[in-house]
Amino acid sequence: MNSQKIHIENFEKERKEILNAYRGLIRSIKNRSKEETKIIRKAFDIALEAHKDMRRKSGEPYIYHPIAVAKICAEEIDLDVKSVICAILHDTVEDTYLTLKDIEELFGAEVSKIIDGLTKIPDVFDENASIQAENFRKMILTISDDFRVVLIKLADRLHNMRTLSSMRPDKQLKIASETKFLYAPLAHRLGLYSVKSELEDLSMMYTNRDVYETIEKKLKSSKEVRNRFIRRFMAPIKEQLIKEGYIFKIKTRTKSISSIWKKMKSKGIPFEEVFDLFAIRIIIETPPELEKPDCWRIYSIVTDYYQPSPERLRDWVSTPRANGYESLHTTVMSPKGKWVEVQIRSERMDIIAEKGFAAHFKYKESKSSENKFDRWITDIRDLLESADENAIDFVNEFKLNLFKEEIYVFTPKGDLRVLPTGSAVIDFAYDIHTEVGNTCIGGKVNNRLVPLSYKLQNGDQLEIITSSKQKPHEDWLKIVISARAKQKIRYSLNEERRRIAEDGKEILDRKFKQFNLTFNSENVTFLVKFYELEGATELYYRIAKGKIDLTKIRSIEIKNGHLQEKVYIKEEVKKETKSPKTDKKQNPIIIGEDFKGFEYQMAKCCTPIPGDKVFGFISIHEGIKIHRYNCPNAENLMSKMAYRCIAAKWKSKELKEREVSIKITGIDRKGLINVLTKSITNDSNITMKGISFDTNDGLFEGYVKVMIYDTSHLDTLITKIKEIDGIEDVIRHETLNSSDL
């Protein structure tokens, strides 16, 4: 009886605490109507009933979680009432008996759609990296539908991080690492600075607890000294602001623990030498039309009292950041010899800085901010269009391209363009238009001719030079860094590949007719397996490129227009000549695009290509270098440093162009170079990357850099060049290069 009484008392106590939590949520929702309050209560009652038998890892009733998430949405992200309702209900469809149809009948189609978006997103955390990345990709897919889905998911993650202490240590570490890698940068990109800072700090608390606690302790012990310093520093400025009639408030923002640690690591300094531990924020009440002049007037007041650092001025009032952030930042020297950062902004700017893109709903007149957000959504759509990109590559690309700092550059007419830091001329060309990018051959930066790879600087003015004969090259993917440019280049390359494959398909069709074969999927599939390829498109592409020997079809039994299985006996593989010794105990390096084991690169001294017998050499600073066995450096490496040599082999299915240098000698005659270049580029359909020739007493010696698939491709080219009248010898060129050791 006693235990039953205790149980009833506990139940009543929990019920009261839950109702108090709900009332706290209601108080946090400003400017709600009576009707909206009724709908919120309805959502709460339904969620409470649905989750009544569920508990969190901490043992508390599960309903606390959706209430807390809803409160974060209302109070910290400033989302609308519909978002709050969705946050209360966000786990009901996934975890309880309620269906999307139930939600739609009770709350309407819009709420149902957002809940559907949240339900489709599983927790990103997973033991398997590719599944984890795929789940993140699913979440990003929802941004272009209704970005409130992602904001609610961020609120969900923030509350989970705040209550992570109840999880197992291994789960804490993995979830914290994922939060730091994906969710914190996403919050930053959406302008949610306080959410981003807290996520980073909470992540650090679980991934680097000792350092976190040390910095936290030092911040607490120096708090009173900091506060006294700030009061003295601001006294004359406050007096002048009051004198000039400004209505203002002053906030102090202490640098987050994770940001302090980043600064300590990047600068190699102790805590005591981090000068920007805090920033002083002056927030003024002023109408939109006076925001800019008032911010600069207050800047003038601050710099009347304290000397500014010109290098540390940041004008995001004239040119807001891509996520809508507006503020005027300056760093000034205090009388005590300390640098102090001062941030000047209006109330509207402060709300946007704290609440991010969600705040733009309140300021519809801010067209520039809406356009920047639309542009970001466009970039996301560009990334999502890369259907052939795997999920891990997508996450890396997304993080790399959309969370980078920006630079500001100008068109010839003075229009402003915002690009990721590190962008090249070709990034700018694609930012203007896809066709401009596809045909770009160079640019003029500040009236100076520059190549495609030129890295842009803040304030550069660009003019793009195009040619109708230009088309995208695979090398461009190594130059560009913007999501848009990479996606458009990949698309063009795939289109070109498909066009070439169509030519190959026609060639195969003609060959089938020659052998009285039916051109159908069964015969094509047979050949795909026969040549050990990934699919029909790859087969057609290789046929067009002359990489498939179709005469082998004669060796296959043909019956009634069909190729027959397993009658072709492959030729015996010739025994390989004995190669120099490498470390057989280690697994060989597999050289190919999907290789994940080690960082490796091709040695410049011998430029290996598929078909070459190769080995890996572990260099001191640059990872593993791949050398040919007949490389000029091979003997030296094998004899003196055999312990650093490891076996390597090519991924046989890969078809990728690589740069090779060939040396050509012969008798000089008029027009020879024209004949030679025509033979290489037109007749052999090979890309030339460079050419240089010297003549002496009627003889010439030249070097040509070409893009080659493999050794057989190179041998075919060499044979063709040797057929030209006047050419005496053609050999592959290599140089001794000590940097490859």
In a domain, 27, yes or no: yes
SS3 694: strand
Tell me, what's the pLDDT at 338?
86
DSSP conformation letters of 440-479:
EEEEEETTEEE-TTPBP-TT-BEEEEE-TT----TTHHHH
465-495 pLDDT, tens digit each: 998 888 898 889 889 988 788 888 988 988 8
Nearest to 588 by CA among 630, 561, 560, 616: 616
Tally of domains within the chain = 5
Quick count: other Cβ atoms within 10 Å of Cβ 478? 9
In a domain, 135, yes or no: yes
Phi-psi region of 333 (alpha: psi -120 to 50; beta: other; left: phi over 0): beta
Structure tokens at 93: 């469809």
In a domain, 370, yes or no: no
Query: Of 316, 339, 363, at which residue does a domain stop?
Result: 363
Regarding whether 663 and 632 lie in a shared domain, the answer is no
Rounded Cα distance between 727 and 668, Å, is: 9
Q: Is there a contact between 711 and 611 (Cβ–Cβ < 8 Å)?
A: yes
Regarding whether 223 and 206 lie in a shared domain, the answer is no
Tell me, what's the pLDDT at 576?
42
Query: Of 518, 547, 563, at which residue does a domain stop?
Result: 563
Regarding whether 346 and 239 lie in a shared domain, the answer is yes
Regarding whether 359 and 243 lie in a shared domain, the answer is yes
Phi-psi region of 127 (alpha: psi -120 to 50; beta: other; left: phi over 0): alpha
Rounded Cα distance between 137 and 281, Å, is: 37
Catalytic residue among 94, 304, 374, 694: 94
Regarding whether 127 and 142 lie in a shared domain, the answer is yes
Structure tokens at 5: 């009484």
How far from the centroid of its chain's Cα atoms is residue 534's Cα?
27
Tell me, what's the pLDDT at 587?
61
Q: Output the pTM of the full model.
A: 0.62
Rounded Cα distance between 601 and 677, Å, is: 29
Query: Of 189, 212, 235, at which residue does a domain stop?
Result: 212
User: b vs e for 312-341, b when ≥16 Cβ sit within 10 Å of the residue's Cβ?
Assistant: eeebbbeebbbbbbbbbbbbbeeeeeeebb
In a domain, 36, yes or no: yes
Question: How many Cα atoms within 13 Å fall on the side-chain side of residue 520?
Answer: 8
Tell me, what's the pLDDT at 282?
96
Tell me, what's the pLDDT at 308?
92
Tell me, what's the pLDDT at 233?
93
Identify any residues that bridge with 466 across adjacent strands, giving them in sequence order: 440
Structure tokens at 353: 């800085």
Q: Is there a contact between 188 and 353 (Cβ–Cβ < 8 Å)?
A: no
In a domain, 160, yes or no: yes
94 a catalytic residue: yes
Regarding whether 257 and 352 lie in a shared domain, the answer is yes
Regarding whether 718 and 645 lie in a shared domain, the answer is no
Question: How many Cα atoms within 13 Å fall on the side-chain side of residue 376?
Answer: 24
Regarding whether 158 and 68 lie in a shared domain, the answer is yes
Rounded Cα distance between 226 and 208, Å, is: 26
SS3 730: strand
**CA 738 vs CA 619, 639, 648: distances in Å:** 11, 16, 21
Q: Is there a contact between 195 and 362 (Cβ–Cβ < 8 Å)?
A: no
Per the structure, the complete domain to which residue 544 belongs is given by 491-563
95 a catalytic residue: yes
Regarding whether 229 and 100 lie in a shared domain, the answer is no
In a domain, 314, yes or no: yes
Regarding whether 197 and 104 lie in a shared domain, the answer is yes
Rounded Cα distance between 558 and 11, Å, is: 80
Catalytic residue among 12, 95, 145, 522: 95
Q: What's the CATH number where 257 sits?
A: 3.30.460.10
Structure tokens at 408: 């500001």
Q: Is there a contact between 449 and 431 (Cβ–Cβ < 8 Å)?
A: no
Structure tokens at 490: 């990949």
SS3 349: helix
Give Cβ neighbours of residue 95 (< 8 Å, ≥ 6 apart): 51, 54
Nearest to 68 by CA among 192, 166, 198, 159: 159
User: b vs e for 502-541, b when ≥16 Cβ sit within 10 Å of the residue's Cβ?
Assistant: eebbebbeebbeeeebeeeeebbebbbebbebeebbbbbb
Rounded Cα distance between 307 and 310, Å, is: 9
Regarding whether 358 and 255 lie in a shared domain, the answer is yes
Supply φ then ψ for residue 128, to 5 degrees: -90, 120
Q: What's the CATH number where 715 sits?
A: 3.30.70.260
Residues of the chain with pLDDT under 70: 1-11, 120-145, 322-323, 357-404, 554, 557-562, 564-589, 592-599, 621, 652-655, 683-684, 735-741
Rounded Cα distance between 183 and 194, Å, is: 13
Q: What's the CATH number where 149 sits?
A: 1.10.3210.10
Question: How far apart are the two ends of the chain, measured CA to CA in Å?
Answer: 83
Cα angle, residue 666 at apex, residues 663 and 671 outer, rounded to 5°: 100
In a domain, 381, yes or no: no
Rounded Cα distance between 547 and 684, Å, is: 12
Cα angle, residue 9 at apex, residues 5 and 12 outer, rounded to 5°: 140
How far from the centroid of its chain's Cα atoms is residue 317's Cα?
28
In a domain, 53, yes or no: yes
Q: Is there a contact between 150 and 358 (Cβ–Cβ < 8 Å)?
A: no
**CA 527 vs CA 508, 535, 538, 555, 560: distances in Å:** 10, 10, 11, 12, 17
The set of long-range contacts for 530-534, using a CB threshold of 8 Å and a minimum separation of 24, is 530/556, 530/563, 530/568, 532/652, 532/653, 533/653, 534/653
Regarding whether 174 and 25 lie in a shared domain, the answer is yes
